Amino acid sequence: MARGSFPGIRRAMLDFVGAYLVDFETSARAAGLTLAQARVLGLAAVEPSSMKDLAARFGCDPSNLTAKVDRLIALGLVERRPDPEDGRVKLIAATPAGVAASAALCHSRDWLAEVLDGLTAEEAALVQTAFDLLVNRAAPA
């Protein structure tokens, strides 16, 4: 198919992602965090990661995340710890307070919960399949 031949899909994605980001930013602000800080916290709460790995997820240079990570450290939400596989590398990991804050942030996002709760099991499976397909196709080779 020709590039740009899916205007309906593009529009739907822009609308959904826009609404998702507004909801995410509102929840982050209510928690006293920026959108980027909330995203770093969420990633660190799922799995400790190096600055290099976090930067790859953000599509930026690791130096662009330093201030965000430093702020989360100052708030007691994440910490730098040695990588058990390579002591030269520091991992960014959520503290227990950070895990709790990340969970609270997820629970405060009513908009997404309402959207997902309104789906039937079949619709949820279809959405999961579609997102998996898009994420896998978008992954760098």
Over residues 34-62, the pLDDT tens digits come to 999 999 999 999 999 999 999 999 999 99
Angle 130-114-132 from CA coordinates, rounded to 5°: 15
Q: Is 90 exposed, middle or buried (0-12, 13-18, 19+ CB in 10 A)?
A: middle
How far apart CA 95 and CA 45 sit, in angstroms, is: 8
Q: Report residue 137 as tokens.
A: 């196709």
Which pLDDT band, with edges at 50, 70 and 90, does 137 fall under? Answer: confident
More confidently predicted of 110 and 7? 7
Q: Which residues are registered as beta bridge partners of 78?
A: 94
How far apart CA 55 and CA 53 sit, in angstroms, is: 5
What SS3 state is found at 47?
coil
Q: How many CB atoms lie within 10 A of CB 48?
A: 19
Domains of the chain: 7-108 (1.10.10.10)
